[in-house]
Structure 1
C-alpha cells in the first residue's frame, strides 16, 4: 500500500510505502498526485519513504515506477528516498543519473522517522 503524506507544500509530493506495492497503488495514488503537482509547478520534489512494514513491489508496480520517473525526467527538482533496503538504495544510485534534479538516499534507521535531514527548505 502507498499512502500520500499529508500537509506537505504543494511542490512536494510524499509517499509512504508499506506492505506489498502494486500497480494499482501507483495508478490510484502516485500517478494522480504527481500529475496534480505538475499542473501547478514546473518542477516538483519527491519524498518516498519505504518503511519497515514494506514487503515488496509487484512487477506492475516496478514498471509503473519506471514510467513515472522516466515520463517526467526533467520535472524532478529533488528526489529523496528513505529506506533501509539495500537493493533499493543501489537501484536509486544506479538509475539516479536519469533524473535531472538532485537525488539523495537516506537510511531510515539513521534518521528515525523524521530527521532534520528530511526538511525541505
Structure 2
C-alpha cells in the first residue's frame, strides 16, 4: 500500500510504501498528488520511504506506475528515496545519472536528512528580466527548457518589438546547457530560433560546457544576430556585450 507522510516542511510531499502496491494505491494517493501539482504549477519534491515490509507491485499497478511517472516527470524538482535495501539503493544511484531532476537515496536512519536535502535543493525556474535602458532581455534558466518557456519568451519579444523595434541583445544565463524537458520543448526551441532570430541583434551565452562553446561558430553561418559565448561566472561581461548591440532606434 501507499500512504502519505504528514508533518513535513512546506513544499515537501511524502509517501510511505509498504506491503503490496496496487493500482488503487496509485489512484487514491499518487494520482491526486500529481494532478494537484499539474493544476497549480507547483513543483514536486517527494520523499519516498520504502518499508521493509514492501513486497512488490501488482501487474495492473505496474502500467499505472509507468503512466503516472511519465506525466509527473516534468513536475519534479527532486526525489529522495529512503530504503535500506541494497537493490533499491543501487537502482536509485543508476537512475540518478539520467534523471532530469535531482534524485538521491538515503538509509532509513537518515529520513530527516533526506527531507533536509529536498528542502535545500535550489529553486528551479525560468526567469526573463527585460532591461529597457540597456535594450536587452536576460533569461536565467536552472531547469530543462519547456515549450511554454519559448511561448512566453516569444510574447515578451513581440511586445518589446511592437513598442521599441528590434531587441538589442538576448542573454542566456545557466550553469550548464539545461537541455529540454521533452521533444516538444526541443522542437519549440528550434522554431523559436527560426522565427525570432531577426528581431535580436546580439545573443550572449553565459553558459558553461562544450555545446555553448561551439554554438557561436555554428550559429554564425545561419543566424542574423551575432552570437558570443561567455563563462557562466562572466555574466556581467555577457550583459555588457549584448547591451552594446542596442539599435539607435530603441527607446528607453
The two structures have a TM-score, normalised by structure 2, of 0.42
Q: CA deviation at 1:92?
A: 2.7
Of structures 1 and 2, the larger Rg is shown by 2
Q: Deviation digits for residues 35-87 of structure 1, max 9, x if unmatched?
A: 21332234211111001222222223333222222222221101111112233
Could you say which residue in structure 2 is the equivalent of 1:72? Answer: 72
Could you say which residue in structure 2 is the equivalent of 1:13? Answer: 13
- Paired with 1:40 and 1:9, the residues of 2 have a C-alpha distance of 19
- Provide closer, same or farther for how the CA distance between residues 5 and 118 of structure 1 changes in structure 2, counting only shifts above 3 A: same
Q: CA deviation at 1:91?
A: 2.9
Could you say which residue in structure 2 is the equivalent of 1:86? Answer: 86
Aligned length: 118
Could you say which residue in structure 2 is the equivalent of 1:115? Answer: 112
- Provide closer, same or farther for how the CA distance between residues 92 and 116 of structure 1 changes in structure 2, counting only shifts above 3 A: closer
Could you say which residue in structure 1 is the equivalent of 2:23? Answer: 23
- Paired with 1:32 and 1:64, the residues of 2 have a C-alpha distance of 13
Q: CA deviation at 1:9?
A: 4.5
Which portions of structure 1, spanning 4 or more consecutive aligned residues, are displaced by more than 6 angstroms? Answer: none
Gaps of 5+ in 2: 121-252
Gaps of 5+ in 1: none
Q: CA deviation at 1:30?
A: 0.9
- Paired with 1:7 and 1:38, the residues of 2 have a C-alpha distance of 22
- Paired with 2:14 and 2:101, the residues of 1 have a C-alpha distance of 16
CA RMSD, Structure 1 to Structure 2 (Å): 2.2
Q: CA deviation at 1:117?
A: 4.0
- Structure with the larger strand share: 1
3-state SS of paired residue (1:63) = helix
83-92 vs 19-28, which moves further:
83-92
3-state SS of paired residue (2:53) = strand
Could you say which residue in structure 2 is the equivalent of 1:34? Answer: 34
Q: Deviation digits for residues 4-28 of structure 1, max 9, x if unmatched?
A: 1123345322100111111111111
- Structure with the larger helix share: 2
Could you say which residue in structure 1 is the equivalent of 2:53? Answer: 53
The two structures have a TM-score, normalised by structure 1, of 0.79
Please say if residues 13 and 34 of structure 1, whose CA atoms lie closer than 8 Å, have aligned partners that are also in contact: no
- Paired with 1:51 and 1:7, the residues of 2 have a C-alpha distance of 18
